[in-house]
Amino acid sequence: MSEKPTIEEYLQNIQDGQFKAYKCVDCGMVIAPPSGSCYGCGSSNMEWTEVSGKGKLVSFTVIHIAPDEFVEETPYYIAIVELAEGTRVSARLLGYDPLKPEEVKLGSDVKMEFETIESGKKYLAFRPT
Amino acid sequence: MPLNNTNIVSAAQTKFGALNGVSLREIFSEAVDKATIEAGVPKKDIQAAFIGTFIPEMLVHQGHTAPLLLDFAGLKGIPATRHEAACASGATALRAAIMAIESGMYDTVLVAGAEKMTSSTTNKVTEALAAAADDQFESSIGLTFPGVFGIAAVAHMQKYGTTEEDMARVAVKAHKNASTNPLAQFQKEITLEKAMTPRYIAWPLKLFDCSPISDGGAALVLTSNEKAKQYTDLPVKITGTGQASASMNLCDRDDLTSFSASVDASRQAYKMAGLEAKDMDFAVVHDCFTIAEIIASEDIGFFKHGEGARAVHDGITALDGDKPINPMGGLKGVGHPVGATGVKQAVVLYRELIGDAGPNQVSNHDTAVMHNFGGTGATCVVNVMRRADV
């Protein structure tokens, strides 16, 4: 069995431009963001798994007023995306005009990528396919 | 079995708003004085205190607030515990007090909440509020608190056809009710057009969809049946209480158009009270954002899922409607000093139920429900209350 995954590694992976989800060793459920116990069977046996990066847009918002840390990035999209593997993640949404959110269609197919801001920080992100 | 020993015998709030020059402990102490000595309850009768404050550590650089606040309010010495559940801090304090009375451990207790928010900048407050969401997985990518409800609004709009105008109507109603409430932060009616001003905070939520940043405090005295008579002929009985939790992360929820903790907590509270949503004459719900009132009105069973917006449009939830919601102006109109809010909601129920709500009095006021909701909806407390003579 592989080493127990940690949140620190999960977040570091995103900063390194890669994404790995947790997978329940006992029932196979794919989980991201990390959880200490499986939503399916309650097990706390987790391992890393790769995902396809394909997903569907579940919902979103456009942030106009943000804490200091994010002020220079406004307006920006935050979306909830359901991955093909069944788990949902929160991420940035790219490829749409933040001033025309009415053009965004829920249920759209999106593909995982990473957004790198000026400071070099990376966000998990999705873009319509 | 309905609870049968918990009575609210006095209840009060301070003015909500930007209380310039007044610090957290002074706000707290004013609320306590109004609910004790000014209401005929000697402070020496209080045996324990249950305190709601959300995040004074970030807002006013003060932790360990319960003994600090109690000392300033002249109640030093008694057991005092602070309860924190984001915006549901006040109602979790109330619930602990209910359990303390029902257990027989105490006969007379204080429940109080307060928050001082306006001395911080808006960005600082936004950052503090964001601490009520999941920092590692959601706040850290730039999801704000209004953003959480923006996401819920988009999902509700998509599934049920709810519109920005529907949400604006909630704001118009809140301001209308608050306009006759002298303790409210906003005492001015607004037009639908004004409520629709496109100053976006987190699309589709605009400035007038959001409750304001506020200072304020609220307090209640709870007693057993035996002690209640000493203070009032007309107490309000808390007959059912419920509390539930849900994932902090929005992304871990199957349904973004309803909050499972609200549904679960209200079912528990109605079941304990032996009543149903249809038995409630009115409700006070957690309208931190206009969409939150629409969803809450559905989650507590006042309307079917997807019909909350229609009910606002048709005036059913207006002060003079069949099912008034937030008759004194809600968080949106009265203000939202976070730690005080859950306690203030109970103050509103008390005043409405005993017929002491002045121009904001609802016509049927035997039985009502309060819904206090924390953070992203990860905690919800619901209480059912009845006037003692019903």
Instruction: Dump pLDDT digits (tens) for A57-99.
Output: 999 999 999 888 899 999 999 999 999 999 999 999 999 999 9
* Contacting residues of A for B204, CB less than 8 Å apart: 61, 101
What's the structural domain count of chain B? 1
pLDDT band at A2 (very low <50, low <70, confident <90, very high): low
Q: Which of A58, A73, A89 comes nearest B142 by C-beta? A: A73
A2–chain B nearest CA distance, Å: 23
Pairs of CB atoms within 8 A across A/B: 106
Are B251 and A88 an interchain contact pair (Cβ–Cβ within 8 Å)?
yes
Helix (H, G, I), strand (E, B) or coil at A120: coil
Q: Which of A33, A61, A68 comes nearest B147 by C-beta? A: A61
Residue A22 pLDDT > 70: yes
Chain B within 8 Å of A94 (Cβ-Cβ)?
no
Residue B79, domain member (yes or no): yes
* Contacting residues of B for A55, CB less than 8 Å apart: none
CATH number of the domain where residue B95 is located: 3.40.47.10
Residue B59, domain member (yes or no): yes
Residue A3 pLDDT > 80: no
Residue B123 pLDDT > 90: no
Q: Which of B123, B152, B203 comes nearest A67 by C-beta? A: B123
Residues in contact with B253: Cβ distance below 8 Å, sequence separation at least 6, in sequence order: A88, B246, B247, B260
Q: CA B293 → CA A73, B68, B99, B174, distances in Å?
A: 30, 34, 28, 10
Determine the residue of chain A that is closest to B252 in CA distance.
Answer: A88
Residue B283, domain member (yes or no): no
d(CA B260, CA A66): 27
* β-bridge partners, B222: B8, B109
Residue B107, domain member (yes or no): yes
pTM over 0.95: yes
Q: CA B334 → CA A9, A11, B176, B208, distances in Å?
A: 45, 40, 11, 13
Scan for tokens 């890393």, then name that residue. A48
Asked whether B338 and B115 are in contact (CB, 8 A), the reply is yes
Residue B349, domain member (yes or no): no
Confidence at residue A1, expressed as pLDDT on a 0 to 100 scale:
45
Confidence at residue B127, expressed as pLDDT on a 0 to 100 scale:
84
Residue B68, domain member (yes or no): yes
Q: Which three-class secondary structure string do you get for B95-139? A: HHHHHHHHCCCCCEEEEEEEECCCCCCHHHHHHHHHCCCCCCCCH
Task: List, in order of start, the domains of chain A with CATH numbers.
Answer: 7-49 (no CATH), 54-128 (2.40.50)
Determine the residue of chain A that is closest to B141 in CA distance.
Answer: A123
Residue B222, domain member (yes or no): yes
- Summarised one tens digit per residue, pLDDT across range B318-373 is 999 999 999 999 999 999 999 999 999 999 999 999 999 999 999 999 999 999 99
Scan for tokens 């409430």, then name that residue. B181
Q: Which residues of B are catalytic?
A: 87, 336
Confidence at residue A67, expressed as pLDDT on a 0 to 100 scale:
85
d(CA B356, CA B365): 10
* Contacting residues of B for A124, CB less than 8 Å apart: 141
Token pair belonging to A34: 């990390």
Mean pLDDT score across all residues of chain A: 95
Chain B within 8 Å of A35 (Cβ-Cβ)?
yes
Asked whether B6 and B272 are in contact (CB, 8 A), the reply is no
Asked whether B334 and B328 are in contact (CB, 8 A), the reply is yes
Asked whether B285 and B326 are in contact (CB, 8 A), the reply is yes
Residue B298, domain member (yes or no): no
Q: Which of B124, B202, B253 comes nearest A61 by C-beta? A: B202
> A74 φ, ψ to 5°?
-70, 155
* Cα B74 from chain centroid (whole Å): 26
- Nearest Cα neighbor of B175 from B283, B15, B335, B310 is B335
Domain containing B34: what range? 7-120+213-236
Interface ipTM > 0.90 = yes
* Contacting residues of A for B123, CB less than 8 Å apart: 66-68, 71
